[in-house]
Each structure stands twice: as structure tokens, then as C-alpha cells.
């Protein structure tokens, strides 16, 4: 069965680039009826944190990426790693290296003086003497010393590594017995049945080492897809200066998970000129062989555009659920559905939507002085006062407010231009709002008259 995995180290929040990697693995597995696994690579006990594990799972839950089976924790698998290290020692494919720090420093100094690439020289590869006293050995794999390691990468095509240039007898277990990254990855991927590995191309240099280990352990080598990094707009590797990198920060900033996933899937993959992809669209269309070879560029304006699309098109109930995170429950508001529907048309984020809603729901305490200076004329206060008196206390709909307003303007030889912005300022404290007639319907006649009178008093 086709099986993919996502295997983060729990040393902090889930990076948005990591979420893209997880998404690609998830989509490929789901498209092919396979399994998508989550493995926490927590062998570095000093750097790991339980809070980071919680953050990773929280991000998965928010985005709706469901993994199969239980989460695998490498920290609980040390006995398995020791068993396979022992297997390599017994078969002669690995050996104990007693190289001291003094020896290592001398070797590096000599190589640097010769301007050679620093690498282990294999001095204990065939050692049969008496082990030196006081040295706890590391375990090294017997890597090929000549030839070429080649594999067909699903993104980059044929990739070759010259063994003499790229490999030495690298360490698979430290002197304290703890296994190294490349070793645990190979053992876990093989035992978990991982058939396809989609990961960032910063792991490309690890691949020849891992192929050496797959073959030494007698495991089948999976298919590799190495995905180019995400860059900021300046071409540098994506970092906090380009935008949020913590997945859950996007939730706090008012982005929908659908928009973030749609944004991320397009950072490196495309399907014609299409821009909008539901999760089902992604599953049906995604093919990792179509991932771009070159790095993609993070563009926050594109995310804003996508987020605005999903805000406009989500069902009311779902959008209302999302807004509860921002302490506003549209279900419990008078005309809440109408208010949400008129605000969603002009909001790029849920934070913007919240701000616009509070500006309408809450009577303004302060007024935009620039708006007053621009839109309030000498007769505005008098016109507003007469308009408030013209209104009755009945709550009517937007069309009826428009008809009444047009009647009032006609009676007073005025146009909507004379009244619309002053009313906006009275309602929200600013000259910005959706259609004033729809806003009037939301707040009702009594509140409308009160807000107009409050502005008149100020003027």
C-alpha cells in the first residue's frame, strides 16, 4: 500500500513550510487510497518539548489533516534502533570507532592545511587491535569508498552522488549509544512501510547516506521527492521578516485553514492556471511529479486574496463558527446573519470582519476627525437632525430605508451625497461601512436615531 509520512522534530511550533510538506504527503496518500502517517522525531531529548508536540497536533487538527493510526514517537523506539545497530555490527557492515577528540582535531587540521574536504579517514574501519582505554566508541557504517549512488527523484529527476566525494564512514550511533538522525529515519520509514518520501530539498544531501543504510539493512529504498524551499519576496529563505511562520499564527491573524492550504499547495505545484482548490480538488488533482523544481515565492497578497474568496463563499454556519474564536457570535446578534453577509463581501481576514462588525454593533465613542472635516458641512447637523425626526421607530428592511431616505432628500432638495457620509460617521464613527441602508436594517431605527442625535450633539 502506498504510504507517506510527515516527521517533524518537536523543537517549536509547526513551520508553515513544514505544513506544506505535510500537505503534499497527505494529498498523495489520500489520492491513492494509501496511508498518511505522523511520526515525531524526538530523539534529541534536550531540545524536545511536549508543548511543541501539542502545537504540531493542534495545527493538524485546525487544518483538517487526518493522519492514520497512532502517532509514532522515536523516543520510545530506542530498543528497536539498538537491535538494528547490533545487526549491522554482527554482519560486519558497521564497526566501532575509537577515535579520540585529539585524533579528530589533528585530522581536521591536516585536511584543512591541504585544503581538503573534512572527512573521516576510516582509520578504525578494519581495526582488530586492543580498544584504547577510556574511549567510548561511536558506531560507523561501512560506506562505499568508490562508485556512484544514483536514484530517480520524483521532482528533480536523476540525481547522482560520487561516493568518494560525498561519503565517509558516517556515524550511526553516538558514544552514549543514541542513534543518529539518518539511521532512525531509515529504520522507521522501513518498518512503518513508507513507500514515498516527500520532503524539503534541504534533505537531499542526506539521501545517499540513507540509501547506504537501506541497502545495508536489507530494506527496500522508497521513492524520493525533494521539494524546493519557499523563499520570501527578496529571494531569501522564508523567515519571520517575510510574514508569520508559525501555522497557528495564521489562525490568530484571521486566516481560514482552507485558504492557507490552498495557498500552500500552490507554492510549488500547479494545475493549469487554476487558483482555487478545495481539499477534494487537491486530492483529485495533486501529483508530486508535477511539483516545480525551482523555489517558490511567498506572496502574502495572494493569501489575502484567497482568504477573501473563502470568507465570501463559506456557509453562514461555518463562518459563524470561525468567528467565535474572535469573541463574536453572529448567531446571537440581532440580524446577525445579515450583518455577517454584508461584511464578508469586503473582508480579507476574519480580524477585519470582526473590526467591521464591532464598528456597527457598538455605538461609536469617538469620531474620525478627518472624516468629519471632509464630509460634515455647515448644514449637516441640521440635516441629520431633521432626518432623525423624519424616521419612525419601526424596524424596516434596507429597501424601505432607501425609499424613506429618498423621500426625505426629495422633500429637502438634497441628494444622497449630502447625507450618506454624515450618516456613516454617525453610525460607525468613520466614513467607511457597507451599504448604509443594509447597516440601518441591522442596527434598527431606534439605535439609528440615537446615534444620529449623538453626532448632532457633538457637532
Nearest to 184 by CA among 221, 157, 210, 149: 210
Distances (CA, A) of 335 to 216, 326, 327, 339, 397: 68, 19, 17, 6, 11
Q: What gap in Å lies between CA 200 and CA 21, rounded to an integer?
A: 7
260 in helix, strand or coil? helix
* DSSP state letter for 133: T
Helix boundaries (H) for 91-180: 101-113, 163-166
Q: All 3 cell numbers of residue 13?
A: 511550533
224 in helix, strand or coil? strand
> Which residues have C-beta within 8 Å of that of residue 357, sequence separation ≥ 6?
328, 330, 339, 340, 343
* CB 247, CB 14: distance < 8 Å: yes
* 3-state DSSP of 169-184: CCEEECCCCCECHHHH
Annotated active-site residue in 96, 142, 237, 240: 240
- Catalytic status, residue 374: no
DSSP assignments along 190-241, one per residue: HHTT--EEEEEGGGGGGHHHHHHHHHHHTPPPPEEEEEPPEE-TTSSBP-TT
Q: All 3 cell numbers of residue 272?
A: 493549469
CA 432, 437, 441: angle at the middle one, nearest 5? 110
Q: Which run of H or of E encompasses 157? A: strand 157-162
Q: Which phi and psi angles does 232 have, rounded to 5°?
A: -75, 175
> Which residues have C-beta within 8 Å of that of residue 83, sequence separation ≥ 6?
none
Q: Which phi and psi angles does 159 have, rounded to 5°?
A: -120, 135
Q: Scan for cell 521532482, then name that residue.
A: 155
Q: What gap in Å lies between CA 403 and CA 329, rounded to an integer?
A: 31
**Beta-strand runs (E) in 261-345:** 296-297
* Catalytic residue numbers, as ranges: 240
Amino acid at each position: 500500500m502506498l504510504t507517506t509520512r510527515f516527521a517533524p522534530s518537536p523543537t517549536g511550533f509547526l513551520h508553515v513550510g513544514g505544513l506544506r510538506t505535510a500537505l503534499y504527503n497527505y494529498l498523495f496518500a489520500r489520492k491513492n487510497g494509501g496511508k498518511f502517517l505522523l511520526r515525531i522525531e524526538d530523539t534529541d531529548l534536550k531540545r524536545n518539548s511536549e508543548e511543541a508536540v501539542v502545537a504540531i497536533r493542534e495545527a493538524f487538527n485546525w487544518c483538517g489533516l487526518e493522519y492514520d493510526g497512532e502517532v509514532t514517537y522515536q523516543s520510545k523506539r530506542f530498543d528497536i534502533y539498538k537491535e538494528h545497530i547490533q545487526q549491522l555490527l554482527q554482519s560486519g557492515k558497521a564497526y566501532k570507532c575509537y577515535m579520540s577528540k585529539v585524533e579528530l582535531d589533528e585530522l581536521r587540521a591536516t585536511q584543512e592545511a591541504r585544503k581538503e574536504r573534512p572527512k573521516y579517514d576510516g582509520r578504525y574501519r578494519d581495526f582488530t587491535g586492543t580498544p584504547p582505554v577510556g574511549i567510548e566508541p561511536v558506531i560507523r557504517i561501512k560506506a562505499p569508498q568508490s562508485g556512484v549512488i544514483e536514484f530517480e527523484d520524483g521532482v528533480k529527476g536523476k540525481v547522482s552522488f560520487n561516493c568518494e566525494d560525498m561519503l565517509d564512514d558516517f556515524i550511526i550511533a553516538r558514544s552514549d549509544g543514541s542513534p543518529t538522525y539518518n539511521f532512525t529515519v531509515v529504520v522507521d520509514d522501513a518498518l512503518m512501510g513508507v513507500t514515498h518520501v516527500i520532503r524539503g530539498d534541504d534533505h537531499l544531501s542526506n539521501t545517499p547516506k540513507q540509501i547506504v543504510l537501506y541497502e545495508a539493512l536489507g530494506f527496500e529504498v522508497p521513492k524520493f521527492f525533494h521539494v524546493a524551499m519557499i523563499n520570501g519576496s527578496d529571494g531569501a529563505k522564508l523567515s519571520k521578516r517575510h510574514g508569520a511562520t508559525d501555522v497557528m499564527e495564521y489562525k490568530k491573524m484571521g486566516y481560514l485553514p482552507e485558504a492557507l492550504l490552498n495557498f500552500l499547495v500552490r507554492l510549488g505545484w500547479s494545475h493549469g492556471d487554476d487558483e482555487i482548490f478545495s481539499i477534494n480538488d487537491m486530492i483529485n488533482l495533486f501529483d508530486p511529479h508535477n511539483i516545480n523544481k525551482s523555489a517558490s515565492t511567498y506572496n502574502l497578497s495572494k493569501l489575502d486574496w484567497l482568504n477573501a474568496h473563502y470568507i465570501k463563499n463559506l456557509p453562514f454556519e461555518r463562518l459563524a463558527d470561525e468567528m467565535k474564536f474572535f469573541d463574536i457570535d453572529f448567531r446571537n446578534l440581532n440580524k446577525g446573519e445579515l450583518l455577517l453577509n454584508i461584511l464578508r463581501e469586503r473582508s480579507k481576514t476574519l480580524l477585519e470582519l470582526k473590526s467591521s462588525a464591532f464598528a456597527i454593533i457598538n455605538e461609536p465613542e469617538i469620531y474620525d476627525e478627518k472624516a468629519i472635516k471632509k464630509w460634515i458641512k455647515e448644514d449637516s447637523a441640521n440635516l441629520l437632525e431633521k432626518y432623525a425626526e423624519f424616521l419612525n421607530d419601526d424596524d424596516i428592511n434596507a429597501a424601505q430605508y432607501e425609499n424613506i431616505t429618498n423621500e426625505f432628500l426629495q422633500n429637502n432638495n438634497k441628494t444622497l451625497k449630502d447625507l450618506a457620509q454624515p450618516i456613516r460617521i454617525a453610525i460607525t464613527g468613520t466614513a467607511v461601512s457597507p451599504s448604509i441602508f443594509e447597516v440601518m436594517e441591522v442596527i434598527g431605527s431606534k439605535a439609528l436615531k440615537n446615534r444620529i442625535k449623538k453626532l448632532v450633539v457633538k457637532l
